[in-house]
Amino acid sequence: MALKVVIIGNGITGITTARHIRKLSNAHITVISDETAYFFSRTALMYVYMGHLKFEHTQPYENWFWKKNKINLVQARVDKIDFLHKKILLNDASFLDYDKLIIATGSQPRTVDVPGQHLKGVQGLYHKQDVELMEKNTAGIRKAVIIGGGLIGIEMAEMLHSRNIAVDFLIREQHYWASVLPIPEATMISKHIAEYHINLHPQTELKEIIGDKNGAVKSIITSDNTEIECQFVGITIGVQPNVNFLKNSEIAIDKGILVNEYLETNITDVYAAGDCAQFTHPRYKHPAIEQLWYTGKMQGEALAQTICGHKTMYNRGVWFNSAKFLAIEYQTYGAMFNTPAKGDTTFYWEHPKGKIAMRANFNASNFTLTGFNFMGIRFRQAVAENWIIAQKNIWEVMENLNVGFFDPEFFTNHNQPILTKFLQQYPKPIA
Amino acid sequence: MKDEQISMALTDNSEASTLQKTGIILFASGILSAIIALAGAGNAQPVLFFWLAFGLSTAGGLLYAYTYFKNPSGIQNNGIFKNGVNNSGVIAWLTGLVFTGFYIILYWFPQYLEGLIRATDTFSVLLRNRPADQWFLYGTIYTLAVLVMGIRFIGKYRHSRYQVIRTLSVMFFQTGFAFLLPAVLLRLNQPEFYFSYFWPLKYSYLFPNDVNYFLNSGAVGYFMVFWGAVMTFIATPLLTYNYGKRWYCSFVCGCGGLAETVGDPFRQNSDKSLLSWKIERYSVHSVLVLVSLATILLWINSYTNGTVLGNFSGSFAKSYGFFIGSIFSGVVGTGFYPIFGSRVWCRFGCPMAAILGIFQRFKSKFRITTNGGQCISCGNCSTYCEMGIDVRAYAQKGENIIRASCVGCGICSAVCPRGVLKLENLDEKGRFEGYTKPEIN
């Protein structure tokens, strides 16, 4: 009798786990999702709204793939889990048995608590259904407001901009995403946002949403009591683990489902991974809840090993992430925060035209590389990782940046001006 | 200040759309003039209708192209799948029908093009010192289309120097090598020769008839035969080993040039399914077998003075010319841009692409490198691949993309929102090795 594995959630974490279990074993695999019939790339939803893609293009596998690989897909919502008898109750009143259960239910948008929060035209952005709602909510409108300056906020701004909808973008910090980006990078992105005629309101919060007589958004009031006319309010103040259906059950939850480094929960044979999981003891310089595509994928790969009998600790490796702010691409490697980590010092170079920049952080006492930020420059992940792991000397790093540049052919290579500025700031010690 | 900014944004867009509309109206007037010329007015007033038909449509096209320069530099794919022309909708089918119809008339009913052919006479005499024929008319339209839509393409992808250089290159080779140079050769009473086309795409260049004709045309003819043979047998493998097939398909070839420029609005319509990859492999390699067979048979026939094969080799080559050379590469290859994407011919039919592809797959330094584990599976690369390669299938596994069909247009790398893909020529060793995450303790 094959092992019965049930996975709740068909996002990147759940599907990666399923695919890797299939590679390693003949387990009976069922993936449950309420959101869609087939796996799709959540990060691509913005491109569907913008008309770059059709929804089907966001599905990485053709529909025959699942049957061929014997991964059963069930489109339903999980109402309740009976952990004692290892049974799952679905919303169509049917039951599923499992030997091992993986919870990978992802996130849900965080909501605001202000007057008018339930008016028509107020919404977050996370699920496929949110994009469909956004289609409806933004049809024919002229003005929108976005609350919250993170990654989803700027995606939403780009989406609305693509439909010629004027955007007022309220952020809590002085510059865009300044909670993560150092001030120079954050300033550069804020300027870039202005080039798109997206109106950034720094240090501004939402106080109230005002509706018209039909219960639709008419305007908002900001924390400095300014009224901004709009027909749409995007709430992008972050996401939180989608675990409400497990509240009041035996599974241990704080913000997310508590797991150890093997992604095991407090209940035997029940695991949690991806956005919905929270590490009870997070690693040094790592967050307790990792809400990234990349981390979901890596957690799924590790978990599949464990499920198939090769107990494997989830190892995040060298931290990396990437994003795109309108037309500027961003890549980061290593422990990079808005100020250098303790004991680190920093070097920053920006192109005079202000759309290309790089930052290298290094240990102030032994001059070894600790991390990179790249804006408008593509860099080889393997090179960055190996240098960070090897604690490469910062002068060697800067002299060899060329090795890592990943920009397309014929692009201007900026390694010389970067090196020149670096050596002015940090002259090479005579050996 | 706030309101001023917003109204600026709105004016920008409406200004762009006014320009675009004006461009479309001018272009339509050019087409209308062409139709009037065809109806007979072209014979009566050739010079006037030359300027009306070509001048108006070019001016309209340029105005439309100019709007791409007005948008902020970066990927400009907004609304592509909301638009029926780009998206296999009814208008796309109609556009396909018009293209197809044009090719049918061009190949088999050129008498209906008389009015326009006469309108290009003056131009033809100027360049070639002889009156126009349907092929001169076709060459003029083709080159203008590549130039105008090339400018549009450069505007659209101007943030990428790879795209700009590649497009300038196809515009140059089309205008210089495939249009002006053959015309000048004719003017000098030399054989008309296209230095940018080689066997097996330009299959007749290694057929005994053409070879004998060139050899009988003196020193220049000898050079042409030499050039053709060197390009086919020496330069092709060598360049493909070093740079991949893109040196030809995306930098030199006229068919590729048309696909990249005129075809760009339709690139996303290529089918990405596993099934179409299977069909493609059978179909493109069959064409290669057929053209090789036709060439070999013709040479056997020529050596044996027709004693072995009789008329068979001649009619075999003629059928190849009719079904593959005309119907497949012309009528289907270009006519079906709006339905099957811009590289229908290159993908399913071109024997040159087949040979280049075999080299590229098995003996080349070229690959598209995937940058570690950075793929977010969004699907932009696969969607905008004109050759129908499911780029994402490799990228999301951290594998490099090494496919026979890849023409190296680099659009996958351009549209990738995470900078995951890079076209490059590196050491042949290890090109199939994917990325594995280094362990740290």
- CB-count exposure of residue A394 (10 Å: 0-12, 13-18, 19+): buried
Flag whether pLDDT at A40 surpasses 90. Answer: yes
The domain spanning residue B416 has which CATH number? 3.30.70.20
Residue B3 in domain: no
Residues A303, A325, single domain; the answer is no
Contacts of B414 in chain A (CB under 8 A): 408
- The mean pLDDT value for B177-199 works out to 95
Residue B127 in domain: no
Flag whether pLDDT at B6 surpasses 70. Answer: no
Contacts of B417 in chain A (CB under 8 A): 324, 329
pLDDT digits (tens, 9 = 90+) for A405-415: 999 999 999 99
- pLDDT bracket for residue B2 (50, 70, 90): very low
| Percent above pLDDT 90 for chain B | 80
**CA gap A277, A259 in Å, rounded:** 7
Contacts of A386 in chain B (CB under 8 A): 438
Residues A249, A222, single domain; the answer is no
**Contact check, Cβ <8 Å, A51/B80:** yes
Q: Which residue of B has its CA nearest to A50?
A: B78
- pLDDT bracket for residue A417 (50, 70, 90): very high
Residues A82, A36, single domain; the answer is yes
**Contact check, Cβ <8 Å, A329/B419:** yes
**Contact check, Cβ <8 Å, B161/A51:** no
Domain boundary (A200, A221, A237) is at A237
Residue A114 in domain: no
Size of interface A-B (CB pairs under 8 A): 155
Contacts of A60 in chain B (CB under 8 A): 377, 379, 392-393, 396
- pLDDT bracket for residue B1 (50, 70, 90): very low
Q: Contact, B275 vs B340, CB < 8 A? A: no
Flag whether pLDDT at B4 surpasses 50. Answer: no
- CB-count exposure of residue A218 (10 Å: 0-12, 13-18, 19+): middle
Can you tell me which residue has the tokens 């693509």? A162
Contacts 24+ apart (CB under 8 A), B117-123: B117/B42, B118/B42, B118/B43, B118/B46, B119/B37, B119/B42, B119/B46, B119/B47, B119/B49, B119/B50, B119/B53, B120/B46, B120/B50, B121/B46, B122/B46, B122/B47, B122/B50, B123/B50
Contacts of B5 in chain A (CB under 8 A): 194, 197, 199
Distance (Å) from the alpha carbon of A191 to chain B's nearest alpha carbon: 14
Q: Quick one: which H or E segment has residue B7?
A: helix B2-36
Contacts of A294 in chain B (CB under 8 A): 373-374
- pLDDT bracket for residue B11 (50, 70, 90): very low
Residues A372, A417, single domain; the answer is yes
Residues A211, A264, single domain; the answer is no
Side chain identity, residue A173: E
pLDDT digits (tens, 9 = 90+) for B346-363: 999 999 999 999 999 999
HSE-up (13 A, CA, CB side) for residue B75 = 29
Contacts of A293 in chain B (CB under 8 A): 376-377
- The mean pLDDT value for A223-241 works out to 97
**Contact check, Cβ <8 Å, A320/B439:** no
- Residue B3's pLDDT is 38
**CA gap A84, A107 in Å, rounded:** 26
pLDDT digits (tens, 9 = 90+) for A133-162: 999 999 999 999 999 989 999 999 999 999
Domain boundary (A259, A281, A307) is at A307
- The mean pLDDT value for A36-57 works out to 97
Contacts of B439 in chain A (CB under 8 A): 315, 317
pLDDT digits (tens, 9 = 90+) for A106-130: 999 999 999 999 999 999 999 999 9
- Residue B7's pLDDT is 35
Q: Which residue of B has its CA nearest to A192?
A: B72
Cis-peptide, bond into residue B200, ω within 30° of zero: yes
Nearest-by-Cβ selection for A410 from B73, B161, B383: B161
- Residue B335's pLDDT is 87
Residue B390 in domain: yes
- Residue B12's pLDDT is 47
The total domain count for chain A is 3
Residue B392 in domain: yes
- The mean pLDDT value for B104-125 works out to 94
Residues A11, A75, single domain; the answer is yes
Nearest-by-Cβ selection for A57 from B12, B383, B440: B383
Residues A70, A87, single domain; the answer is yes
**Contact check, Cβ <8 Å, A52/B393:** no
Can you tell me which residue has the tokens 């780029």? B391
Distance (Å) from the alpha carbon of A85 to chain B's nearest alpha carbon: 37
Residue A167 in domain: yes
Mutation target among B271, B378, B396, B427 for the A interface, most CBs of A within 10 A:
B378
Residues A30, A44, single domain; the answer is yes
Residues A325, A392, single domain; the answer is yes
- Residue B85's pLDDT is 67
Contacts of B424 in chain A (CB under 8 A): 409
- Residue B14's pLDDT is 60
- The mean pLDDT value for B171-192 works out to 96
Distance (Å) from the alpha carbon of A92 to chain B's nearest alpha carbon: 32
- pLDDT bracket for residue B88 (50, 70, 90): low
Distance (Å) from the alpha carbon of A148 to chain B's nearest alpha carbon: 19
Phi-psi region of A354 (alpha: psi -120 to 50; beta: other; left: phi over 0): left
Residue A407 in domain: yes
Residue A431 in domain: no
pLDDT digits (tens, 9 = 90+) for A359-372: 999 999 999 999 99
- Which domain covers residue B385, as residue numbers? 363-425
- Residue B314's pLDDT is 87
Residues A126, A227, single domain; the answer is yes
Contacts of B246 in chain A (CB under 8 A): none
pLDDT digits (tens, 9 = 90+) for B196-209: 999 999 999 999 99
Flag whether pLDDT at B236 surpasses 90. Answer: yes
Flag whether pLDDT at B322 surpasses 70. Answer: yes
Side chain identity, residue A242: N
Displacement of CA B265 from its chain's centroid (Å): 13
Q: Which residue of A has its CA nearest to B415?
A: A52
- pLDDT bracket for residue A341 (50, 70, 90): very high
- Residue B94's pLDDT is 87
- pLDDT bracket for residue B436 (50, 70, 90): confident
Residues A90, A17, single domain; the answer is yes
- pLDDT bracket for residue B334 (50, 70, 90): confident
The total domain count for chain B is 1
Side chain identity, residue A312: T
pLDDT digits (tens, 9 = 90+) for B264-293: 999 999 999 999 999 999 999 999 999 999
Mutation target among A40, A52, A193 for the B interface, most CBs of B within 10 A:
A52
- Residue B15's pLDDT is 66
Contacts of A409 in chain B (CB under 8 A): 162, 422-424
**CA gap A229, A233 in Å, rounded:** 10
- Residue B83's pLDDT is 76
- The mean pLDDT value for B209-236 works out to 93
DSSP A292-335: -HHHHHHHHHHHHHHHTT--------S-EEEEEETTEEEEEEES
- Residue B112's pLDDT is 94
Residues facing A200 on adjacent strands? A169
The domain spanning residue A41 has which CATH number? 3.50.50.60
Distance (Å) from the alpha carbon of A406 to chain B's nearest alpha carbon: 7
Distance (Å) from the alpha carbon of B258 to chain A's nearest alpha carbon: 23
- Which domain covers residue A88, as residue numbers? 4-108+240-307
**CA gap A32, A7 in Å, rounded:** 6
Cα angle, residue A177 at apex, residues A174 and A183 outer, rounded to 5°: 60
**Contact check, Cβ <8 Å, B77/A51:** yes
Flag whether pLDDT at B9 surpasses 60. Answer: no
Contacts of A58 in chain B (CB under 8 A): 378-379
Q: Which residue of A has its CA nearest to B81?
A: A51
**Contact check, Cβ <8 Å, A380/B417:** no
Q: Which of B262, B76, B256, B73 shows the shortest CA–CA distance to B151? A: B262
**Contact check, Cβ <8 Å, A58/B379:** yes
Distance (Å) from the alpha carbon of B133 to chain A's nearest alpha carbon: 41
- The mean pLDDT value for B352-377 works out to 97
Side chain identity, residue B345: W
Distance (Å) from the alpha carbon of A273 to chain B's nearest alpha carbon: 18
**Contact check, Cβ <8 Å, B378/A41:** yes
Flag whether pLDDT at A94 surpasses 90. Answer: yes
- pLDDT bracket for residue B20 (50, 70, 90): confident
- Residue B262's pLDDT is 95
Distance (Å) from the alpha carbon of B439 to chain A's nearest alpha carbon: 7
Look up residue A350 and give its two tokens.
């920006």
Residue B227 in domain: no
Mutation target among A191, A199, A379, A406 for the B interface, most CBs of B within 10 A:
A406
Domain boundary (A237, A269, A285) is at A237
The domain spanning residue A410 has which CATH number? 3.30.390.30
Contacts of B419 in chain A (CB under 8 A): 322, 329, 331, 378, 406
What ipTM did this prediction achieve? 0.96
Contacts of A164 in chain B (CB under 8 A): 9-10, 13
Residue B372 in domain: yes
Strand A166-170, strand A199-201: pairing: parallel
- Residue B440's pLDDT is 61
Mutation target among B276, B371, B420 for the A interface, most CBs of A within 10 A:
B371
Residue A32 in domain: yes
- Residue B179's pLDDT is 97
Residue B11 in domain: no
pLDDT digits (tens, 9 = 90+) for A245-303: 999 999 999 999 999 999 999 999 999 999 999 999 998 888 999 999 999 999 999 99
Mutation target among B377, B397, B424 for the A interface, most CBs of A within 10 A:
B377
Q: Which of A106, A158, A148 shows the shortest CA–CA distance to A123? A: A148
Terminal-to-terminal C-alpha distance of chain B = 54
Flag whether pLDDT at B13 surpasses 60. Answer: no
Residue A430 in domain: no
Residue A313 in domain: no
Distance (Å) from the alpha carbon of A265 to chain B's nearest alpha carbon: 23
Residues A9, A78, single domain; the answer is yes
3-state secondary structure of B407: coil
- Residue B86's pLDDT is 67
pLDDT digits (tens, 9 = 90+) for B243-271: 999 999 999 999 999 999 999 999 999 99
**Contact check, Cβ <8 Å, A409/B424:** yes
**Contact check, Cβ <8 Å, B423/A58:** no
Residue A115 in domain: no
Strands, sheet with A227-229, edge to edge from the N-terminal-most edge strand: A206-211, A217-222, A227-229
Strands, sheet with A87-90, edge to edge from the N-terminal-most edge strand: A78-82, A87-90, A95-97
Contacts of A199 in chain B (CB under 8 A): 2, 5-6
Residue B208 in domain: no
Contacts of A382 in chain B (CB under 8 A): 372, 435, 438
